Structure 1
């Protein structure tokens, strides 16, 4: 793999860029108040042209951009979706994003695509497969990528690895980094009944290239229990901020993204969340 000439994300708070906020970001930039960086789902820009590209081009001239892919389906039995990978590579050539990431998941079969990021088993065979597919993506893009820990609603019987060890081994063997989603840790801990603090304390900060925080919902599961849903549809929970602060105290500054993908609020609300993340980063810098 030949490393590309990359930007870097600043160790500050960024925002998930939504179409309703395009004009807000450009107006804020004119006042010298643009977000430190922004992240997009590249699948929204796979078209050749049109307004989405005009907006993204203008914003990418102002702030670093991170591509957070949701479509490579690295965990699928047939391997990475080659059409998605080719489209992602073309978009990377066009915009030269500071970071590229995807998920520890699968979403495709040979004939179907599912509108969700589905869990993989934590087995030797799954690890070998994922190392191989991450390598293919990195070779195609000419850069290392980040892989995000999933939000889980179930665990497979017969898993041979705990999640953190699986992620560490994936990073060591493939050369990828980790996108640490702290909200996903909370969701998984609630659903699978483990301690999120212990999970977080075992992560090696050296692998972490980006952090996500977000809100989630807790609902009745219909059979007398409760389930956490990773909906990114509300402000970041206080418990998630506490976990972020705990990790930053140990790891030092890192790019932190505020995700808000459903029931998207006004720009000022989103930036207030980013400011709260920046407030946690400031003492780390001091």
Structure 2
């Protein structure tokens, strides 16, 4: 297994395969959603094998329903392990969310209540995944649109306790923090400042949009735009404290030409390089 470098990465899209595999762009790494490759064979796996020969790859799950109340889907676990064994990714991560209930799968990432019961269940689910696939995973902080009335544990405490108790790491999505802070009216800088740096294994950056149909100006995590300036500022605030980390540009909807994504990755690389340069400057 190769390490995920503390550089900018991009989510891999099949429509960009030729640009990437033939052009070998100067990108640090790529992320895939394992659910897109849980097949027995064929062109998808052949394309993934070619990508893995050229770049470190991170697997970011969207369908484990890690934060649900029911048991994890054993078939999904088995499919994930088979792909992990084949690809040997540099990192595996999953969302704190639920997407299935009593055998019904919903193609969405629904919010996990932040209660002691939910925390205990999440820790057990993380333990199950890590034991099954034989490696440590990262968990991603959610996007919030409305406060859940049953919540009794602050989000930052919730994700930190889950990581400490299970031995997993954190995938910090800075865009999610910015959106949640706007929608729930809290200070994103204070949230960023309290994230334990030793737990952070990866960072995500993405674009968002305002809900045109909502008079309260709710922000939506659309992954359909360039990274917004306030999100870049929060990213700088985080990495200036904890140091450079593997950083992904997420763009999953209204996917642009490869050159646009490559430009966004280059911007992220510039931010990471600035932190490296500051760390090398002598103290007078």
TM range (shorter): over 0.9
Kindly indicate whether the alpha-carbon contact (under 8 Å) linking 2:209 and 2:219 is maintained by their aligned counterparts in 1: yes
CA deviation after TM superposition for structure 1 residue 167, in Å = 0.9
Which residue of 2 is the match for residue 207 of structure 1? 199
Whole-angstrom distance in 2 between the partners of 1:54 and 1:171: 34
* Equivalent of 1:23 in 4, 11, 18: 18
Kindly indicate whether the alpha-carbon contact (under 8 Å) linking 1:253 and 1:285 is maintained by their aligned counterparts in 2: yes
Which residue of 2 is the match for residue 266 of structure 1? 257
Whole-angstrom distance in 2 between the partners of 1:179 and 1:95: 20
Written as runs of structure 1 = structure 2, the 5 A alignment for 1:85-124 is: 85-124=77-116
Q: Structure 1: 5+ residue runs without aligned partners?
A: 1-5
Which residue of 1 is the match for residue 3 of structure 2? 8
CA deviation after TM superposition for structure 1 residue 221, in Å = 4.1
Whole-angstrom distance in 2 between the partners of 1:270 and 1:111: 37
Q: Does 1:254 align with 2:245?
A: yes
Over residues 170-200 of structure 1, what are the superposed CA-to-partner deviations in whole Å (9 max), with x where a residue is unaligned? 1110000000000111111111111111111
CA RMSD for the aligned pairs?
1.0
Whole-angstrom distance in 2 between the partners of 1:244 and 1:144: 24
Which residue of 2 is the match for residue 167 of structure 1? 159
Q: Which runs of 4+ in 1 moved over 4 A?
A: none
For residue 155 of structure 1, give the secondary structure of its aligned residue in structure 2.
coil
CA deviation after TM superposition for structure 1 residue 220, in Å = 3.3
Kindly indicate whether the alpha-carbon contact (under 8 Å) linking 2:69 and 2:118 is maintained by their aligned counterparts in 1: no
* Equivalent of 1:243 in 211, 234, 240: 234
TM score, norm. by length of structure 2: 0.95
* Equivalent of 2:269 in 278, 281, 286: 278
* Equivalent of 2:184 in 186, 189, 192: 192
Which residue of 2 is the match for residue 3 of structure 1? none
Whole-angstrom distance in 2 between the partners of 1:255 and 1:218: 28
TM score, norm. by length of structure 1: 0.95
Which residue of 1 is the match for residue 41 of structure 2? 49
